[in-house]
Amino acid sequence: MADKIKKLMNDSAAARWAALILIALMMFFAYLFADILSPLKSTLESVRGWDSATFGIYAGGEFFLNVFCFFLIFAGIILDKMGVRFTGILSAALMVGGAFIKYIGVSEWFQATAFCSWMNSWWTSFPASAKMATLGFMIFGMGCEMGGTTVSKAIAKWFKGKEMAMAMGVEMSIARLGVFAAMWLSPAISKTAVDTVGAPVLVGALLLCIGLITFTSFTFMDRKFDKQLAEVGQSDTSKSDEFQIKDLGIIFRSKMFWIVSILCVLYYSAIFPFQKFAPNYFEVTLGVAPEFAARLFSVFPILAMVLTPFLGLFLDKKGKGASMLLVGSIIMFVCHLSFAFLLPVVKSSALAVVLILILGVSFSLVPASLWPSVPKIIDEKVLGSAYCLIFWVQNIGLWGVPLLIGSVEKSTGGYTVPMIIFASFGVIAFIISLLLKVEDKKKGYGLELPNIKEEAPKAAPELVNAEELAAELSKDECSDK
């Protein structure tokens, strides 16, 4: 049967990159929705009564259920047991459901309902709109983080032995384009709509429905690919190699898993929470309008989008993944320190753009080298659970840091201390990156090696001596006689 299939689907560049685009579009709409309210912090303060502490609780709510209900751990088990198709559709459905709950919470019509009045009667310092929006964001966050791990495992499956780092880089670039879109789309819709807060969220929720459709389209391709793998004996769903709960011990006993997880939580805690507060930071620091501040920050993912695929290609061909993590941590520290002390003094939009773009370089270096490194240190059988557990550790920071930043900004009345906190994460991340590089050198995980292994050159056929050949032919003739 194996002879009948001379070429698998992922051997076709067109097929595997088409699959990548379909799953990446789901994450594009997810990233867009995640930051749909970030440019509207000032609007939320004026029309819904949210302060910085309220906004911080809302922003951290995206990760609450993942952390405290251990949903991401269950998501990893679901992913390894049920596969990328089931888990991807489930994650997209959760995102859509959570998005519409969030829309209900911030919508204008909900504010006049009896249910809203009842919700305002308890925990009065936290508005009903924030309660509903946070609940929806929690459900959305379950789907978004599950989707991120599903996409990572799907790419590892479709690009195994091929341009895996580049593929992950392209996927991240497409997803980050969602941040850029949110910074432009959200203020534009808010400015023209009657429901200044609800309308952008509704548009984001509808776009997530498109993401659900694109991933569903991918599942038809993936089902056919699985059939091919089964026919050639490469299926990863055999009973002898099936994931079991006890296999989680493989992950928890891995020192490299904990190093990568800690590095991940430090780095992303200085990026994603910053994204939530960045438009307001530039608005306050530079004294510009909210819409201009959002568009100013929209350049953040641009350089990352351009660089990440090329960095992935470099990793595939040349390696140096651990070294990239070191450089990315340094850049992050320098940029946040500049946001704390330099930009408030200079107050230049041009300088702000330069710093944002440089921070985008860090946002390219670290993820582009971090995620393709995980399959090198974790057994493929538990890869989905490993990604989810790393995301779970990461989510602890992504939940707690927005609460911390919102509380500190409210108590200090400015962003200097919050930016110092972000910069400190960069220092610790640099130390952990050094530890990662040392451990890789000792154990030989290959983090500094390229992902694409060059085939050994075929041995050249031995040259035949003409005299020996003539002698052999002569012998054959004599024997025939």
The angle that helices 198-231 and 128-158 make with each other, rounded to 10 degrees, is 20
pLDDT number for residue 188: 93
The predicted-structure confidence for 416-448, as pLDDT tens digits, reads as follows 999 999 999 999 999 998 998 888 888 888 888
pLDDT in tens, 78-99: 887 888 999 999 999 999 999 9
Q: Model pTM?
A: 0.79
Is position 203 within any domain? yes
Burial of 450 (0-12, 13-18, 19+ CB in 10 A): middle
- Average pLDDT over every residue of 397-419: 92
- Of the listed ranges 369-373, 429-433, 451-455, the least confidently predicted one is 451-455
Q: How many domains does the chain have?
A: 1
Looking at the domain assignment, is residue 401 inside a domain?
yes
Asked whether residue 478 is domain-assigned, the answer is no
How many residues make up the chain in this entry?
Answer: 481
- pLDDT tens column, 212-264: 999 999 999 999 988 888 887 766 544 445 556 676 777 888 888 898 889 88
Residue 457 lies in a domain: no
Domain span including residue 251 = 7-233+245-452
Looking at residue 130, what is its pLDDT? 95
Task: State yes or no: pLDDT of 44 exceeds 90.
Answer: yes
Residue 356 has pLDDT above 50, yes or no: yes
Tell me, yes or no, whether 467 lies in a domain. no
- CA dist., res. 286 & res. 347, Å (int): 5
Q: Identify whether 112 is part of a domain.
A: yes
| 283 in a structural domain | yes
% of the chain with per-residue pLDDT over 90: 51
- Lowest mean pLDDT segment, chosen from 85-94, 320-329, 382-391: 382-391
In a domain, 193, yes or no: yes
Main-chain phi, psi angles of 194, to 5 degrees: -70, -45
Q: What is the DSSP string of 248-263?
A: HHHHHT-HHHHHHHHH
pLDDT score for 401: 94
pLDDT at 300: 87
pLDDT of residue 480: 47
- Supply the CATH number for residue 373's domain: 1.20.1250.20
Q: What pLDDT is recorded for position 243? A: 56
Task: Dump pLDDT digits (tens) for 104-116.
Answer: 999 999 999 999 9
More confident residue, 383 or 82: 82
Quick one: average pLDDT of 158-180? 85
